[in-house]
Structure 1
Amino acid sequence: MRILVVSDEESKYIWDHFEPEKFKDIDLVISCGDLKAEYLSFLVTMINAPLFYVHGNHDTEYKSIPPEGCECIEDKIITYQGFRIMGLGGSHRYNRGEYQYTERQMRWRIAKMKPKLWLSKGIDILVTHAPAYKIGDGEDVCHRGFECFIELMNKYNPKFLLHGHQHLNYGRNERINQYKNTNVINAYGYYIIEI
């Protein structure tokens, strides 16, 4: 399965110069947040694949105008083509914004999903907006990763953690990191992964 992951910045290469041939083999699109609703609607229209998304810390407009034709997987575990995908959007709390959470609040969100995690017998892909703590995150409160994502990877050993929030043009991040058996992918802009 080929997955197009997107986050944080609309790609001019895709939006302004879309070439269907380059995306014909995409089976799924996943957004890790902070993208315009119109962009996600464009992607799901132009690429013949479903689009799943979580909220970024700037996605408050989605409440009134959600991306058309896309599915929010926030606080859910869904199965697509045999892969179990869990969504946990938002960033660390830094100014009382809608999709901002303390470490304790994010931990509580995960705790509420334990019955779903048990029923699904774990997860293959964890989709977040914020990164995991000390794996491609930042030093400031806004861009610090969540420690509970490390615990989630330790317990359920997903194949991938897909996140955004850390722009690669900040100059201090790598696109791909490895944590034990989990490939941690920063979806900034766009990237294609294969499972």
Structure 2
Amino acid sequence: MKILALADVEDKALWDFYDKKMTEGVDLVISCGDLNSNYLQYIVTMTNVPLLYVRGNHDRGYDRNPPLGCIDIDDRIYDYKGLRILGLGGSMRYHGGGDMYSEGEMLSRIRRLKGTIALHNGFDILVTHAPAAGYGDLDDLPHRGFACFNYLCMRYKPKYLLHGHIHREYSHEFIREQSHESGTKIINCYDKYYLEVSDEEHPARGRTGSFLYDLYTNISDKRKKY
């Protein structure tokens, strides 16, 4: 499965000067936040594949102009052909605006998802806007990472954590890829990043090991055939 992950800046090769070769073979698009709603709508139209997104700290405009045709995965798990994708957008709170959270508030969001995560028997990709604390974040409060993302990785060991928020120009020590101590591969998706996920990296749809969720999935899929 080929995933195109996006964050923070609108790539001219995908918008102003669209080249279909840039999205050739892409099965799924994931936005990690802080992207123009019209940009996401354009990409989902041109690729004709599902586009999943979480909100960044500069996405208040989505309240008035949400990216039509795209799927909001904040605070939920989205199953794409067996690939379980959990979304937790937003950044560390540094003023009173929206889509920002204290460490405690983000932890509360995670706790509310405990039942959903259990039902799906975990998740394979964690999609955030902010990074995990200590993994590519910066010292200033607006760009500090969340410690509770480290807990999620250690507890559930997803294959990937995709985030944005830390721009290449912010630091000469910009890190595109790194490994978490849990084994999770962390990827800063600033601008764009192409990710290949093999079938062996996630359970087949309806084969998660969760009796109730697999039963629901298999019944739902059978109904769609008729």
Same fold (TM over 0.5): yes
Partner of residue 110, structure 2: 110
Number of matched residues?
Answer: 195
Q: Which residue of 2 aligns with 1:148?
A: 148
Instruction: Tell me the distance in 2 between the aligned counterparts of 1:19 and 1:9.
Output: 17
What residue number does 2:99 align with?
A: 99
Structure-2 separation of matches of 1:90 and 1:51:
18
Contact between 1:130 and 1:143, CA under 8 Å: does it hold in 2? yes
Kindly provide the CA deviation profile for residues 106-142 of structure 1, in whole angstroms up to 9, marking residues without a partner as x. 0000000000010000010000000000101011000
Q: Which sections of structure 2, spanning at least 5 residues, go unmatched?
A: 198-226
**Contact 2:14/2:22 (<8 A) preserved:** no
Q: Is the 8 A contact 1:167 1:188 kept in 2?
A: yes
Structure 2 residue matching 1:40: 3-state secondary structure: helix
1:21 Cα deviation from its structure 2 partner: 2.8
Answer yes or no: is the 8 Å Cα contact 2:13–2:22 preserved in 1.
Answer: no
> Offset at 1:17?
1.7
**Structure with greater Cα Rg:** 2
Question: Of residues 177, 191, 194 in structure 1, which corresponds to 2:193?
Answer: 191
| TM-score of the pair, normalised by structure 1 | 0.98
The yes-or-no answer on 1:50 pairing with 2:32 is: no
Instruction: Check conservation: 1:54, 1:74, Cα contact below 8 A.
Output: yes
Partner of 1:161: 161
Cα distance between partner residues in 1 of 2:22 and 2:72: 25
Q: 1 or 2, which has the higher helix percentage?
A: 2
1:31 aligns with 2:31: yes
**Residues 131 and 144 of structure 1 are in contact (CA less than 8 Å); yes or no, is this contact kept in structure 2?**
yes
Note the residue ranges of structure 1 that are not aligned, 5 or more in a row. none
Where 1:9 maps in the other structure, the secondary structure is: coil
What TM-score do the two structures reach when normalised by structure 2? 0.85
Q: Provide the residue aligned with 2:11 in structure 1.
A: 11
Q: How far apart are 1:50 and its partner, in Å?
A: 0.5
1:158-182 CA-partner distances (Å, limit 9, x unpaired): 0000000000121332111111311
Q: Contact 1:24 / 1:48 at 8 angstroms: preserved in 2?
A: no
The structure with more strand, counted as a fraction of residues: 1
Q: Which moved more, 1:40-49 or 1:109-118?
A: 40-49
Percent of pairs with identical residues: 49
Q: Which whole-Å CA distance do the structure 2 matches of 1:160 and 1:120 have between them?
A: 17
* Other structure's SS at 2:142 match: coil
